[in-house]
A and B are shown apart, each in its own frame.
Chain A
Amino acid sequence: MDSFFRRLLYYFRRDKFEAELEEEMQHHAALSGRPKFGNVTLLKEDSRAMWTWTFWEQLGQDLRYALRTMANNKAFTALAALSLALGIGANTSIYSFMDSILLRSLPVQNPESLAVLNWHSKPRSVSKGQKGTTFVMHAMSGSTYGDSKSGTTAGIFPFPAFELLEKDDSSFTSVFAFYPTGRLNLAFKGQADIANGEYVSGDYFRGLGVPPASGRLLLRDDDKAGAPPVAVISFAFSQSHFGGTENVTGQSILINNIPFTVAGVTPPEFFGTDPAAVPDVYLPMHANLLLEAYPFGGPGAQYLDKNYYWIQIMARLRSGVSLAQARATLATPFHQWVGSTATNDKERANLPELLVSEGAGGLDTLRRQYSKPLYFLLTLVGLILAIACANIANLLLARAAARRREIALRLSVGAGRLRVIRQLLTESVVLASLGGFLGVLFAIWSIRFLTLLLANGQSNFTLRADLNWHVLGAAAALSLLTGAIFGLAPAIQSTRVDVMPALKEIRTSQTHPRFHVSLSQMLIASQMALSLLILVAAGLFVRTLANLQSVELGFNRENLLLFQLNARQAGHRDPEIASFYSDLQNQFSKVPGVRNVSLSHRSMIHAGTGLPISVSGVETNDTRLLFIGPRFFTTLQIPMLLGRDLEERDQSGSHAVVIVSESFAKANFGDENPVGRSLTLGGVGPTATRTDMEIVGISRDARYGGVKRDVPPVVYLPYYLQPASYPVQQMVYELRTAGDPLAYVNSIREIVQRADSRVPLTNVETQVEEIDQTINQEIMFAKLCTAFAILALLIACVGLYGTMSYTVARRTAEIGIRMALGARQGGVIWMVLRQVFSMALVGLAIGLPIALATSKLVESFLFGMKPDDPLAIAAAIAVLMTAAVIAGYAPARRASKIDPMVALRHE
């Protein structure tokens, strides 16, 4: 403890202490009769280091010195800080998305003990011409993923499987199930709106450990057939529709025209179990008996069907039980149960197995969708940061050369080499911190921009990223790291000077030591190589987007307005619902400026319905359906190859007619003319209801189910023919307009409001917007990569320009002599440009093989081209060389303007 006070005393009387030490050493020198005493200053510094908290003191000195140096070199500081800010900002914003999508846990109690249940089976390939079923999953509702190699994985189960898992209490303290309701019509005090909901089993909220924000959440007793219909609404929905959480409990709301009582409100941060879907309302699972049409077998059949896969299951692990243990415990009972549901030997051979996966992050819909793109973007912004670092290292190197005398002086008066390196490093870290600070500001802006870009006009976009301590910590660490990386090499390099020659050197034309030049040239070449990678990526994505946008749709996308109505959810029933829809079609067609109106049960882009269609008693393969209204082909401008469009006279009660696509005709009738032949809608089994229809027209193929998919054989049926198992629900109206389609929205809204105010108008968009949304990722990639490529090129060119200007300045005298000896201006320009070319070519030689090798990694993001697309690569090379020449030309020209007399006199 007293040593502390001795140090403190020293701190206040340091001059005296140092004078004493000096005197003591001089005394020693005098007695020993030796004149010199080694490095006195270093000895003094050592002793000072012993006495004080020198580290902090020196840090303070270094910081002050660094700030002064930065202020003295404003242009350099601004340039370096700006390029770092862009690099760090881009990395921070992409990382914040990764943080929110890939790393964040559900906002519930102990998320780490949650588990998600999935199953995995052999690949469920569509088996053509095979008789009988090959999998126990006879019918599924929900998403499955996988491919023909890894097999199929999904998180949907039959209800009896849920009951089986619920019974087991060795692994789980709670098992709960849920599935999305789809869009609901939710009316409160006569105001109808669209809401997203989730059906949840009785233990859902208890299992997740979520407390109510007001009222109560759903309990086991609510989830029973015949229980009074209650609903829980989300905090955000209570704010937007009820003006707060107070007085919500006990209110009556109409959901799809059925009265429900609001039981309570979920807490503000809660968003369900899937970050990709934020439900507005939670309903007891058995309430689906009130709200849904029964797909098959009548009310409640889906709860008994052991081969219908539809509910998602999560569970909370008993404390001390691991995921692997839970899986081991449950594998056998699940296997036995699922084996008992098999109806033939093939099914028994292809049984799915149970997977128990980590559930802290909820369902992984978003992770699956965005993890690959995000890792890709993170790689790109990482490359940009590397370019920025190389650039600053280069600038520092040039500056260090200019500071050689200063550094030599410091070393000669006794500064330790490490001490000088530390001081130089402090400068770079201060610079990087400034860059990091500006980078975070840039990130705040770019996160907003990226969110907009990702959402691309989707109003229900649920992805939210923000700056939290996680992200800010990462940004700070990144700044320090980059500071150390770009600062270290120049610092080590510049302190490796031979003191005497450097001191003697008085701004002469003496050429640079060879090593400096080659290090800085190496940095430029690597910047060129990295820029090439980003340019190739940009080229590939711009071409992909161009390919997608020029895909032949088969219909005219311009001046087409789309919107959706769901009359069934507002209480309309068969057969009146069909005339409700056709009356509206009539009224829309009378709006001035509307040229043609039609409707279909899905839009072409989002279509994807398959029901059995047979020709002469044989079921057709892979046939897709679309239920349409009159004048569909006229409105979409899909050319008819033979026969006619659907017309008003084709109504319920009249002779059933149908139109088929070119591909369907070719696949099922070959070269014969199918007009006049008949088709059958419905299964081939003895109990199935069947409808026979006459083919009255053949249409040219048009994109069905998205622009990227191959066009399937399609049958277009009038919507009044929708079977009882697939009743008329929502309709998408297509309006061909004169001029901007969105200008008609108000008149349309008025017409719908007058017809039935309970039916909300949703998904209002132009056909162009709808298509853009389906290729949103490609648009985003093309835009971002282009921006990144410009940024990378800009930074690299600034570096090239700086280095060449510096080289020309150093060689002024030499060039002067050359010109005095008769070198031409053109020759001098070429001499400088040759150096530029050589660096760019080295960059190409490094970058091109890397680009070719890595572009395969993005193959899945491309459309209509190979990853080694020659056009994209050639364009990237051309852009890079052009940029290099532009950046190198100004210094080259300056070199050619050197006046030999001035240059030599300067000597």
Chain B
Amino acid sequence: MEERSEIPPGTLYMLILKTLLRIGPMHGYGIAQHIQQISKEVLQVEEGSLYPALQRMLIKGWVVGEWKQSENNRRARFYSLTPKGRKQLAAEIAEFEKVTAAITRVIQPA
């Protein structure tokens, strides 16, 4: 089994929001799968942190949920982005890039 990395703290919201922006309304399992595939199996989303995160995002109003038929013919909650969620995504990406650039500068060889 290949090496899997923990998702860096604080970035899960960003990953979920970006996924929803890219692939449109999706259920929890689909979101986790998508992140795993795009990251080439490096990022593994644990359900134990995914669902609490989704709940928090529902409370904050960044996403809304809608119950629809899923691929295995069962009911599933499909999450989709709200305008508030889009704004949040932009802010999170900007913040992330700022921090990453800063970290890169620190660890670059002098």
Chain A interface (Cβ < 8 Å from any Cβ of B): 2-3, 6-7, 20-21, 23-25, 27-28, 30-32, 37-38, 43, 46-47, 50-51
Contact = CB atoms under 8 A, between A and B. Distances in A.
Interface residues of B, number: 21
Contacts of A25: 47, 51
Contact of B48 (A2, A32, A38): A38
Given A27-B27, A28-B29, A31-B29, A21 B74 contact: no
Contacts of A30: 72, 74
Given A50-B55, A51-B59, A23 B75 contact: yes
A3 B60 contact: yes
B4 interface: no
Interface in B34-59: 47-48, 51-52, 55-56, 58-59
Contacts of A21: 51, 55
Contacts of A50: 52, 55-56, 59
Given A24-B28, A28-B51, A47-B51, 4 more contacts: A2-B61, A21-B51, A31-B70, A47-B55
Interface string B71-93: 01011110000000000000000
Sorted from nearest, which 5 A-B pairs have the closest CB atoms?
A31-B29, A28-B29, A47-B55, A27-B76, A24-B77
Contacts of B56: 50
A620 B41 CA distance: 108
Contacts of A51: 55, 59
Contacts, number: 55
B59 A24 contact: no
Contact of B74 (A27, A32, A38, A43): A27
B60 A28 contact: no
Contact of B58 (A6, A27, A37): A6
B51 A43 contact: yes
B75 to A, nearest CB: 7
Given A28-B47, A43-B52, A46-B52, A7 B77 contact: no
Mostly helix, strand, loop or mixed at chain A's interface?
Answer: helix
A49 to B, nearest CB: 9
Contacts of B47: 25, 28, 37-38
A153 to B, nearest CB: 64
Contacts of B32: 28
B48 A43 contact: yes
Contacts of B60: 3
A31 B74 CA distance: 10
8 contacts: A20-B77, A27-B74, A30-B72, A50-B52, A50-B55, A50-B59, A51-B55, A51-B59
Contacts of A37: 47
Nearest to B70: A27
B106 to A, nearest CB: 34
A28 B47 CA distance: 8
B76 A6 contact: no
A415 to B, nearest CB: 17
A592 B108 CA distance: 114
Nearest to B75: A23
Contacts of A3: 59-61
A45 B13 CA distance: 21
Mostly helix, strand, loop or mixed at chain B's interface?
Answer: helix
Given A3-B59, A24-B76, A32 B29 contact: yes
A51 B47 CA distance: 18
B59 A47 contact: no
A158 B72 CA distance: 104
A39 to B, nearest CB: 8
A6 B61 contact: yes
B2 to A, nearest CB: 18
Given A23-B75, A27-B76, A7 B27 contact: no
Contacts of A6: 58-59, 61
A637 B33 CA distance: 109
A30 B29 CA distance: 10
A314 B76 CA distance: 83
B52 A28 contact: no
A7 B56 CA distance: 11
Nearest to A42: B48
B63 to A, nearest CB: 12
Given A25-B47, A27-B29, A47 B77 contact: no
Residue in A21, A28, A38 with the greatest tally of chain B CB atoms within 10 Å: A28
A47 B52 contact: yes
A47 B58 CA distance: 11
A27 B47 CA distance: 12
Contacts of B72: 30-31
Nearest to B46: A38
Nearest to A48: B55
Nearest to A47: B55
A6 B62 CA distance: 12
Contacts of B48: 38, 43
Given A2-B61, A50-B59, A51-B59, A24 B74 contact: no
Contacts of B75: 23, 27
Contacts of B27: 24, 27-28
Contacts of A43: 48, 51-52
Contacts of B55: 21, 47, 50-51
A115 B58 CA distance: 64
Nearest to B47: A28
B25 to A, nearest CB: 14
A21 B48 CA distance: 12
A27 B67 CA distance: 12
A568 B40 CA distance: 111
B62 to A, nearest CB: 10
A20 B42 CA distance: 30
A110 B40 CA distance: 74
Contacts of A32: 29
Contacts of A47: 51-52, 55
Residue in A2, A27, A43 with the greatest tally of chain B CB atoms within 10 Å: A27
Nearest to B48: A38
A23 B76 CA distance: 8
Contacts of B58: 6
Nearest to B74: A27
B105 to A, nearest CB: 36
Nearest to B58: A6
Contacts of B76: 24, 27
Nearest to A24: B77
A53 to B, nearest CB: 13
Residue in A24, A27, A28, A37 with the greatest tally of chain B CB atoms within 10 Å: A24
A43 to B, nearest CB: 6
B28 A28 contact: yes
Nearest to A4: B59
Residue in B32, B70, B76 with the greatest tally of chain A CB atoms within 10 Å: B76
B58 to A, nearest CB: 7
A6 B55 CA distance: 11
A32 B31 CA distance: 12
A15 to B, nearest CB: 16
Nearest to B76: A27
Interface in B1-40: 27-29, 32
A24 B51 contact: yes
B51 to A, nearest CB: 6
A43 B51 CA distance: 8
Contacts of B52: 43, 46-47, 50
Contacts of B59: 3, 6-7, 50-51
A466 B101 CA distance: 67
Contacts of A28: 27-29, 32, 47, 51
A11 B107 CA distance: 48
Nearest to A23: B75
Residue in B59, B61, B75, B77 with the greatest tally of chain A CB atoms within 10 Å: B59
Nearest to A2: B61
Contacts of B51: 21, 24-25, 28, 43, 47
Contacts of B28: 24, 27-28
A68 B64 CA distance: 42
A6 B28 CA distance: 20
A120 to B, nearest CB: 63
